[in-house]
Amino acid sequence: MAQAIKKQALGRGLSALLKDPENDIKSVNDKNADKVVGNIIELEINAIEINPFQPRSNFNEESLRELATSIKELGVIQPITVRKLDFNKYQLISGERRLRASTLVGLTTVPAYIRIANDNESLVMALVENIQRHDLDPIEIALSYQRLIDEIQLTQEQMSERVGKKRSTIANYLRLLKLDPIIQTGIRDGFISMGHGRAIINIEDLDIQTDIYQKIVSQNLSVRDTEALVKNYQESLKPKPAGKPKAASFEVAETQKSTFTNYFGTKVDVKVAGNGKGKITIPFHSEEDFNRIIKLING
């Protein structure tokens, strides 16, 4: 919690810096530009304009309300990205749903990454340096990787070279961003580990994700326990193999039994099992009687 307060205070401090006309940062070469590049800044929503070239114009109202509820409870987990147009004037690059949802719940500021002129390489350096820090939580690292993809268009292979991490490691971090926001917050606050998150991400249903998250926290489950819980859930979804259809049983009428008895000249026993299978028992009383029955069978 202390870390979150520290970051919030830092974001507000930088926001004040940007609103100072004497420190109007327009380029990466300007004074204090290094404090802006790569950092999260609390930005006033009324200073942000929607990108007129935003290709997406339709937003699902129900989904937007759900995001607004999440933001009201947890805050904006992933900052938006804006481009600086003029003094205290910005244009949205990405995160319109987050911005709209924040407005819905009455927020006046929103955490943002600010892009300024010719900051591409500086941003890459800042993010790479940030990723190398030891005090970052897994979600912060994942967000840094995602920024390198979204804003710099680096591939995972290129990121692997820049940060000195295997591509599979980068992919594992990025997958954490598909977790429900509640779970992402749990990872950031240290309630669960990245290992727990990696196990939960194998479940697509966000409601089931949060159910398992609650069990992990309340029952203090280990990563191995979580993996077993996820596996059991996935097994329960698999269609059960259909058993072999049982053969219909039937009853042999007394008249049918009598037909055998009359033909062989001895009381024939007919038994039928529940699966429809059965056996016919023809008794004989001597070798002579046995030979007689054989002749009847052979015709």
pLDDT of residue 3: 45
Told to judge if 121 belongs to the known catalytic residues of this protein, a careful annotator would answer: no
Topology of domain 1-118 in CATH is: 3.90.1530
> For residue range 200-243, what is the model confidence (pLDDT) as tens digits?
999 999 999 999 999 999 999 999 999 999 999 998 888 877 66
Three-point CA angle 99, 105, 108, nearest 5°:
65
Q: What ranges do the domains of the chain cover?
A: 1-118, 254-298
> For residue range 243-285, what is the model confidence (pLDDT) as tens digits?
666 656 677 777 777 887 787 788 888 888 777 788 888 888 8
Active-site choice (62, 96, 251, 287): 96
DSSP letters of the chain?
-HHHHHHHHHHHHHHHHHT-GGG---BTTSTTHHHHTT--EEEEGGGEE--TT-S-----HHHHHHHHHHHHHH--SS-EEEEEEETTEEEEEE-HHHHHHHHHTT-SEEEEEEE-BT-HHHHHHHHHHHHT-SS--HHHHHHHHHHHHHTT---HHHHHHHHT--HHHHHHHHHGGGS-HHHHHHHHTTSS-HHHHHHHTT---HHHHHHHHHHHHHHT--HHHHHHHHHHHHHHHSPPPPPPPPPPP----HHHHHHHHHHHTS--EEEE-TTS-EEEE---SSHHHHHHHHHHHH-
